[in-house]
Amino acid sequence: MVLYNQDDVIGTERIFEGYIFNVRVDTLKKRDTPAIKREVVEHNGGVVICGQPEANKLILIRQYRYPVNEELIELPAGRVEKGEDRFLAAQRELTEETGYVGKTWRDLPPMYSAPGFCNELLTFYQATDLIWQGKNLDEDEETEVLIVDLNEAWSWVLQGKIRDAKTVAGIAVLAHPL
């Protein structure tokens, strides 16, 4: 088996540049092997917020997601703008989508969303000592805020009621700490 890495790139073609992500095709080659291509979705990354108004409660949001044509239950999250500080992005997203401001913040483990084809790194935070300030949604967003028991949120994962990967991961980190 031949393992390819970034040192094996012999060419790159950018095939799409968009508002949220870009797509490139890299050509990779090692000595004495045929060239191969890898499609890569480039993304600035995102933040995911595990907001907890109380110790065993969790803020989730219900919102429509166009690509899957469904309303999903998710943790508040959003993309990081180019050059934006991830922590400031997390603070912004929590307030935009839920109306809450967190006074106490803690880093949780970061995770790649889909490393087989995308470089998006999701940075997770826990926010506590929450204060209601009011939502500040983007013009194309509408969210319903749900405050649920952490055990209930985990049961929703097991029942398939929550199917968003970043939300499953965030709930698992909170519900099953080491």
The tens digit of pLDDT for each residue in 144-153 reads: 999 999 999 9
Residues in the chain, total: 178
Question: Is 1 a member of any domain?
Answer: no
Q: What is the pLDDT of residues 39-81, one digit of tens each?
A: 999 999 999 999 999 999 999 999 999 999 999 999 999 999 9
Q: What percentage of the chain carries pLDDT values higher than 70?
A: 96
State the pLDDT at residue 63: 95
* Residue 84 binned pLDDT confidence (cut-offs 50, 70, 90): very high
Question: Is 58 a member of any domain?
Answer: yes
Provide CB contacts within 8 A for 73, sequence distance 6+: 60, 61, 62, 146, 156, 161, 162, 164, 167
Q: Are residues 32 and 107 in the same domain?
A: no
Give the chain's end-to-end CA distance (angstroms, integer): 35
* Residue 28 binned pLDDT confidence (cut-offs 50, 70, 90): very high
Question: Which two tokens mark 103?
Answer: 């006074």
Question: Is 10 a member of any domain?
Answer: yes
> pTM for the whole thing?
0.91
Q: Are residues 57 and 35 in the same domain?
A: no
Question: Is 36 a member of any domain?
Answer: yes
Amino acid at 89: A
State the pLDDT at residue 137: 67
**Burial of 135 per CB tally in 10 Å (0-12, 13-18, 19+):** middle
Question: Which two tokens mark 161?
Answer: 């009621």
Out of 17, 70, 93, 139, which one is annotated catalytic?
Answer: 139
By residue range, what is the domain housing residue 113? 46-175
Q: How far apart are CA 137 and CA 126, in angstroms?
A: 21
Q: Are residues 82 and 16 in the same domain?
A: no
Average pLDDT over all residues of the chain? 94
Pairing of strands 70-74, 121-132: unpaired
Query: Which stretches of 29-112 are assigned E, i.e. beta strand?
Result: 36-43, 46-51, 57-65, 70-74, 77-79, 100-107, 111-112
Amino acid at 135: K
Q: What is the pLDDT of residues 121-160, one digit of tens each?
A: 999 999 999 999 987 766 777 889 999 999 999 999 999 9
- Looking at the structure of the chain, the number of domains it has is 2
Q: Are residues 27 and 83 in the same domain?
A: no
Q: Are residues 78 and 154 in the same domain?
A: yes
- For the question of residue 139 being annotated catalytic, the response is yes
Amino acid at 52: Q
